[in-house]
């Protein structure tokens, strides 16, 4: 007997009248209600099938480095056995070639640019400041070039395809074996309940429409604590089950609800708790975020791909941000669809089977995940120790260390998430990501990790460390100006400076140009409102990005300082509903960043007005940051742009059914709340 199915009977009989206690059914219902009052999860989840997720302690950074050095010395001196492995698969050979090309582009371009930069500088009186400025430029140019090289490879894939990648087209017509069972799990914590369950209902309806609903079970895994939120979650879960049962023509998708009273290790702990309780009942699990929406075809195709690739441990979808109407969110989703797609394709091109995992909208093979991806806390004190915050990159590295492949599937449609509705929400999310990525960098020397995943730990940390480096580069340049300079050979400098400026502009803006070119070459401009609106949208998005860049730079610098000093981080969920930022809130949060740099610019101007000009590209956007954050958070302005066909994305021009259903359910829920 299927224990999962048998456990549902009391819920389906909940409408049976109590016949005064004589009926066995009525007695069973009374006992069921009693259990529900005493133990809230007793009738909302299937029977527990216990499993384990062992935790392997981390060796630590310096122990890992020492072990790597000793192992290499043993091999060089002949005292240790070489690492044995089978012949390389075709995709592994291709990956080696691509990574060599990637590293060559990055190193050669950075070396040339740094040489041009050093030669273009006048001779300064302070040698230490000069060499520090050159070193900062070398690090930042290498960082910029890695992004450019990734986008360039993505442009190649967009035009030519990739024979070595995993493609959804290869399994579209395959049948899914009846014994393949997949859990779709959604961890939530103090979320906007109506929005979360609207998206989940659309996902369940789309999944039921595939006719394979019985092979998928959905779990809502709550870490909420507020009584009002818990009551709303339980009511929404009951309403969802009732609605699905009422409209089910075929097999119903079962939805379970689990409230975790002992909340440990945030989302990673919630997922591990599910695995220990019910992981043994499922071959695969799809992890969702609270703002995720996925089509049934996408979920079924993921399961088929896992069946077709038995060595795959994780398959990550290329998630498209969609869902908010504010100008900020529209700019983010447009940039992701046009330029971000290049970076996604480029990452898939050079990572292949050693890809990374973003923590949601991905399918995972449960058995190896339980065996190898238990996350032990990082020893030590401070903000970079304790429970792992950004678990996704670490879990991908652990899965690959155990011999399983991790792939990014870029041609699979039907995977969506919401972008942050405004700049302050984005920065709130970035603060959490910053601390998590810096913490992951402590694991970069762990034994057995693949070098691609070590590189991803470094890239994740550099995504935030680059902000204080840019600030230091800007301030050191100003300090060099103030220290005084003697121009020795001004004749050769202009040509080198022109070449350097051209190189810098290419690295920064060519990915955007390539993204637009890819849309036009593939004839997709109609889905973006036409060629004219596509180009206008790109110009508006670029202008917003340039105005917001100084705010992100200073905010990320602050986040890095907070993480490194060990200040406590309050991990809260970002808002799921768009609401216009109040002027007071924007000023209170952004004014300190503005005051610091404007005061610095004023101090520099007192000494040398010319030197203060170098700070204007940062100071002016900071002065405008609060009103810009308020302006771009208004839904009405975003709808005005949409009505004129600006910053459209294909998911709006021809909205997929699952997104239309999600908007429909969210609208009904909003009207119900207003009526109440």
Write the DSSP symbol of residue 525: G
Residues 6+ apart with CB under 8 A from 413: 295, 298, 656
Give residue-wise pLDDT tens across range 85-103.
668 889 999 999 999 999 9
Provide the pLDDT for residue 231.
Answer: 92
Q: What is the mean pLDDT of residues 634-660?
A: 90
- CA–CA separation, 655 and 674 (whole Å): 26
Give residue-wise pLDDT tens across range 224-250.
999 999 999 999 999 998 888 887 565
Write the DSSP symbol of residue 321: E
**Beta strand extents in 168-237 (DSSP E only):** 182-188, 216-222
Write the DSSP symbol of residue 402: T
H-assigned helices in 408-566: 423-440, 451-483, 493-521, 531-565
Provide the pLDDT for residue 491.
Answer: 46
Provide the pLDDT for residue 607.
Answer: 65
* CATH among 3.80.10, 2.40.10, 2.30.30, 3.40.50 for 178-291+657-675: 3.40.50
- CA–CA separation, 544 and 327 (whole Å): 10
**Cα torsion 475, 480, 481, 487: sign:** negative
Indicate whether 489 pLDDT > 80.
no
Q: Which of 304, 288, 307 lies closest to 197 in space, CA to CA?
A: 288
3-state secondary structure of 590: helix
By the 8 A CB rule, do 355 and 407 touch?
Answer: yes
For 35, half-sphere exposure in the C-beta direction (CA atoms, 13 angstrom radius) is 13
Query: Domain boundaries in the chain?
Result: 178-291+657-675, 466-479+494-656
Give residue-wise pLDDT tens across range 105-129.
999 989 988 888 887 776 666 667 7
Provide the pLDDT for residue 28.
Answer: 45
Q: Tell me which H or E stretch contains 133.
A: helix 127-160
Residue 107's CB is within 10 A of a number of other CB atoms, namely 12
Provide the pLDDT for residue 502.
Answer: 79
**Beta strand extents in 203-273 (DSSP E only):** 216-222, 254-259
Q: What is the mean pLDDT of residues 627-640?
A: 91
Q: What is the mean pLDDT of residues 30-46?
A: 53
Give residue-wise pLDDT tens across range 140-196.
999 999 999 999 999 999 988 999 999 999 887 888 999 999 999 999 998 989 999
Indicate whether 493 pLDDT > 70.
no
Write the DSSP symbol of residue 283: S
Q: What is the mean pLDDT of residues 279-294?
A: 95
Q: Do the strands 284-287 and 293-294 form a parallel or antiparallel pair, or are they unpaired?
A: unpaired
Provide the pLDDT for residue 87.
Answer: 81
Please report, for residues 180, 323, 338, 591, the alpha-carbon distance to residue 420 in angstroms, rounded to integers and kept in the order given: 35, 9, 18, 21
Please report, for residues 338, 644, 659, the alpha-carbon distance to residue 647 in angstroms, rounded to integers and kept in the order given: 10, 9, 18
- CA–CA separation, 457 and 473 (whole Å): 23
Q: Do the strands 254-259 and 123-124 form a parallel or antiparallel pair, or are they unpaired?
A: unpaired
Q: Do the strands 284-287 and 254-259 form a parallel or antiparallel pair, or are they unpaired?
A: unpaired
């Amino acid at each position: 007997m299927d224990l999962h199915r048998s456990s549902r009977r009391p819920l389906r009989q909940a409408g049976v009248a109590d016949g005064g206690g004589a009926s066995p059914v009525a007695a069973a219902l009374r006992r069921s209600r009693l259990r529900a009052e005493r133990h809230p999860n007793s009738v909302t989840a299937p029977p527990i099938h216990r499993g384990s997720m062992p935790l392997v302690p981390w060796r630590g950074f310096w122990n890992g480095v020492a072990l790597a050095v000793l192992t290499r010395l043993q091999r060089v001196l002949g005292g240790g056995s070489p690492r044995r492995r089978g012949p390389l698969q075709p995709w592994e050979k291709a990956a080696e070639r691509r990574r060599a090309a990637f590293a060559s582009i990055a190193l050669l371009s950075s070396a040339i640019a740094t040489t041009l930069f050093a030669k273009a500088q006048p001779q300064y009186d302070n040698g230490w400041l000069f060499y520090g400025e050159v070193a900062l430029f070398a690090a930042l140019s290498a960082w910029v070039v890695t992004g450019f090289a990734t986008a360039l490879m993505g442009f190649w894939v967009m035009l030519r395809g990739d024979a070595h990648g995993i493609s959804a087209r290869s399994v579209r017509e395959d049948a899914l074996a009846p014994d393949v069972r997949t859990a779709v799990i959604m961890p939530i914590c103090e979320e906007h309940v109506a929005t979360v369950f609207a998206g989940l209902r659309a996902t369940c309806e789309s999944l039921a429409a595939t006719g394979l609903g019985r092979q998928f079970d959905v779990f809502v895994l709550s870490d909420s604590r507020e009584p009002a939120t818990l009551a709303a979650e339980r009511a929404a879960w009951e309403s969802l089950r009732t609605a699905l049962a009422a409209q089910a023509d075929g097999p119903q998708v079962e939805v379970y609800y689990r409230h975790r009273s002992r909340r440990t290790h945030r989302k990673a702990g919630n997922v591990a708790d599910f695995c220990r309780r019910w992981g043994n009942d499922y071959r695969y699990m799809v992890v969702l975020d609270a703002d995720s929406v996925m089509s049934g075809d996408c979920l079924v195709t993921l399961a088929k791909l896992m069946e077709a690739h038995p060595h795959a441990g994780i398959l990550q979808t290329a998630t498209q941000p969609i869902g908010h109407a504010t100008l900020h969110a529209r700019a983010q989703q447009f940039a992701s669809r046009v330029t971000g797609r290049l970076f996604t394709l480029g990452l898939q091109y050079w990572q292949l089977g050693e890809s990374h995992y973003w923590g949601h909208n991905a399918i995972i093979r449960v058995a190896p995940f339980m065996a190898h991806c238990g996350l032990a806390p990082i020893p030590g004190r401070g903000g970079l120790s304790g429970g792992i915050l950004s678990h996704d990159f670490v879990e991908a590295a652990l899965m690959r260390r155990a011999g399983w492949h991790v792939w990014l599937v870029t041609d699979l449609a039907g995977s969506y998430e919401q972008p942050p509705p405004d700049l302050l929400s984005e920065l709130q999310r970035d603060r959490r990501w910053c601390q998590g990525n810096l913490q992951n960098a402590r694991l970069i020397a762990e034994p057995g990790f693949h070098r691609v995943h070590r590189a991803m730990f470094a890239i994740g940390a550099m995504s935030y460390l680059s902000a204080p480096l840019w600030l230091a580069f800007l301030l050191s340049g100003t300090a060099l100006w103030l220290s005084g300079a003697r121009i020795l050979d001004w004749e050769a400098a202009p040509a080198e400076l022109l070449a350097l400026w051209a190189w810098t502009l290419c690295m920064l803006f060519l990915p955007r140009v390539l993204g637009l070119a890819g849309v036009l070459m593939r004839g997709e401009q109609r889905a973006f409102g036409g060629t004219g609106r596509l180009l206008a949208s790109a110009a508006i998005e670029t202008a917003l990005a340039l105005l917001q860049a100084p705010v992100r730079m200073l905010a990320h610098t602050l986040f890095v300082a907070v993480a490194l000093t060990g200040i406590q981080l309050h991990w809260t969920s970002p808002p799921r509903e768009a609401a216009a930022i109040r002027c007071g809130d924007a000023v209170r949060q952004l004014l300190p960043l503005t005051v610091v740099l404007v005061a610095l610019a004023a101090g520099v101007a007192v000494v040398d007005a010319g030197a203060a000009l170098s700070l204007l590209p940062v100071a002016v956007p900071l002065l405008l940051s609060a009103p810009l954050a308020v302006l771009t958070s208004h839904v009405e302005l975003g709808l005005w742009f949409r009505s004129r066909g600006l910053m459209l994305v294909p998911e709006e021009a021809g909205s997929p059914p699952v997104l239309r259903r999600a908007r429909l359910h969210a609208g009904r829920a909003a009207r119900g709340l207003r009526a109440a």
